[in-house]
Amino acid sequence: MILKNGASVKFDTPVRDGRRMRAALYRRVRAYERRYEMSSEQMATLLQEGRIHETAELIKWMQACRVLELFERETHTTGTPMTTTGQSTRNG
């Protein structure tokens, strides 16, 4: 794609972009876990039990976890992130 200023932009394939996004999310989640010295699962439990106050940063952490989980599920289901096999994973 050529932009108005003449610069060209190369778009990666969805799979490559998906892998990059997954890797970035993984690094982000791990950074939160190191910062708070606990696993994402432990933090989610504390939030659900109301034992810790929800902040914008904690919401971002939990959102990153959720998106990473969806990537993992999609990769497990289809073999590659951000692609489909044409087969439904739903019953019925």
> What tens digit of pLDDT does each residue of 42-77 get?
999 999 999 999 999 999 999 999 999 988 887 665
Does some domain include residue 87? no
What was the pLDDT predicted at 77?
Answer: 58
One-letter amino acid at 4 equals: K
Does some domain include residue 9? no
Find out whether 43 and 62 touch, Cβ atoms under 8 Å: yes
Does pLDDT of 27 surpass 50? yes
Does some domain include residue 43? yes
Does some domain include residue 2? no
Does some domain include residue 33? yes
What was the pLDDT predicted at 22?
Answer: 87
pTM comes to 0.64
Does pLDDT of 16 surpass 70? no
Does some domain include residue 28? yes
Does some domain include residue 6? no
Find out whether 81 and 75 touch, Cβ atoms under 8 Å: yes
Give the pair of three-digit tokens for residue 53: 């106050």
Number of domains in the chain: 1
Does some domain include residue 83? no
One-letter amino acid at 26 equals: Y
Average pLDDT over residues 2-31: 71
Structural domain span for residue 46 = 18-78
What was the pLDDT predicted at 21?
Answer: 85
